[in-house]
Amino acid sequence: MLVLNNKCNFTKNEFIDYQKELQEIAATADVILCPTAINISNFNLTNISLGAQDVSKFSKGAHTGEISASQLASYNVKYCIVGHSERRTSFHETENDINLKIKNLLENNIIPIVCLGETLLEKQENLTSEKLTNAAKKLKNNLTKEEVNKLIIAYEPLWAIGSGLIPNITELEQNLSILKQNFPHNKILYGGSIDTNNIKIFQESTLLDGYLLGGLSLNPTSLKKILKILKNN
Ligand code: PEP
């Protein structure tokens, strides 16, 4: 599974051109494209599934600027990223907000892709295991078992996002195994500075079900390369 997070990129025409290139991608893996919200209505690919980057914690009403889960569902959105570190940090999103968002998504049959990960400071202070365990606990406390089992979990160390830095395989497997213990029935993805050279390192993992790509999602040529590498392994 490959989740493409376009973040706040592509004007309308740029997105149309980008999609033309993605059209050629053979559906060799489950690929989910999460465009900027305004480009969702221009999505017209049949080889790729549609995702969103965020959703409102409100179900409808007087919440200027928000987009609800039912509105996303009405545009055939099937997946939605929740709790991305950029939303937690820049938009002060709390665990409670994330929980409300997950509930709204599930009520509308949209699969949440929930992002979790440690900061650089937490990693340096050997607090990663505690951070991931606590985050998993908080998430599960507020959801039923059935709800938990529907989530896709994305392990995204904050220090790896957009930085060019990646965990080594030992570190990766250690952290993924914490998530696997907490989410034994869920798909687990990794995201953070994946590129066409380092993807091989992640392929060594026995615990990963796929990848979340930010920067690389903007480059169809690199995407095609990644899909080729994944197909050949
Ligand atoms: C992300 O922000 O979810 C991400 C994976 O970004 P990048 O690939 O650019 O590090």
pLDDT digits (tens, 9 = 90+) for 106-160: 999 999 999 999 999 999 999 999 999 999 999 998 899 999 999 999 999 999 9
Residue nearest to atom 1 of ligand 1 (CA): 214
Measured over the CA atoms of residue 1, residue 212, residue 8 and residue 20, the dihedral's sign is: negative
Residue 28 pLDDT > 90: no
Residue 202 pLDDT > 90: yes
pLDDT at 142: 85
Atom number in ligand 1 closest to CA 192: 10
Domain count, the chain: 1
* pLDDT, tens digit, 9 for 90 and up, residues 170-188: 999 999 999 999 999 999 9
pLDDT at 230: 87
Atom number in ligand 1 closest to CA 85: 2
Q: Which domain holds residue 107?
A: 2-231
Please tell me if the CB atom of residue 153 comes closer than 6 angstroms to any atom of ligand 1.
no
CATH number of the domain that 92 lies in? Answer: 3.20.20.70
Q: Are strands 49-52 and 31-34 parallel, antiparallel or unpaired?
A: parallel
Mutate to test the pocket of ligand 1, among 5, 116, 195 (most ligand atoms within 8 A of CB): 5
Dihedrals phi, psi of 60, to nearest 5 degrees: -175, 175
pLDDT at 119: 97
Lowest mean pLDDT among 24-28, 138-142, 189-193: 24-28
Average pLDDT for the chain: 95
pLDDT at 180: 97
CB 100, CB 57: distance < 8 Å: yes
Other residues' Cβ atoms within 10 Å of the Cβ of residue 13:
9
**Closest to 195 in 3D by CA, of 221, 168, 213:** 213
Per-residue pLDDT band for 231 (boundaries 50, 70, 90) equals confident
92 belongs to the catalytic site: no
